Chains A and B, each alone.
Chain A
Amino acid sequence: MDTRARVDAATVRRAVAGVADPELPPVTIGMLGMLHALTVTDAGDVLVELLPTYSGCPATEMIARDVRAAAESVDGVGTVTVRWRFDPPWTPDRIDAAGRAALREFGIAPPGGPLPDAPRPSGPDRSLPLAVGPTTSASEPPVPCPYCRSRDTVRDSAYGPTPCRDLRYCAACQQPFEAFRSR
């Protein structure tokens, strides 16, 4: 007779959802909406299905390892299987409110979502950003600055330090900043 207590799926889920994104430590995979499904069998085996933000994100291996460790840390858990899937495709609207706040706090403008009110910039004439390459696409509304919340921003580059981020410039506080890509 199996005397082990049944593993509580919600406990495992909490542990897995709390895994930090290795490139954005204040943000968890739960906040980012990467945790698609988690099932626990009667025997305590766990299947975790994750959605990658960007398909080629080099952090996926680390995330899978951390997710496995987090699930295994729960008492009674047996074999842990981590599976990546593309259906449904991850999109930035999966980032929850806490995740958006954490990204902004970290200095990265979150994509879309409700825009905070921002004061119009005041003060002396602002310098123009150095725009060497193509910049903002006209169809896209400006992303509020994560520092001063002004919307007087432009996209300097559609590509940034990771596949999921681009480079912006705030004319109000004259700060370059990064934004989570909007799609």
Chain B
Amino acid sequence: MTGDIVQMGAYIGAGLACMGMGGAAVGVGNVAGNFLSGALRNPSAAPGQTATLFIGIAFAEALGIFSFLVALLLMFAV
């Protein structure tokens, strides 16, 4: 066997970090879907809440980006 087992673990971990993407997808979809269902019930109130929508999406997405960060750290820093 060639190569370093630590390196192998880091690559496997970086691949596994992609699962975080699914979590972010669920979160962003949840926020956007709930916004849409609320907006269709009361369309007149929807434009005032787009800022809240984007803040919610940004917070949900940030955790997905953290998994990307973990992947990057495993690839290049460990």
Say whether A associates with B: no
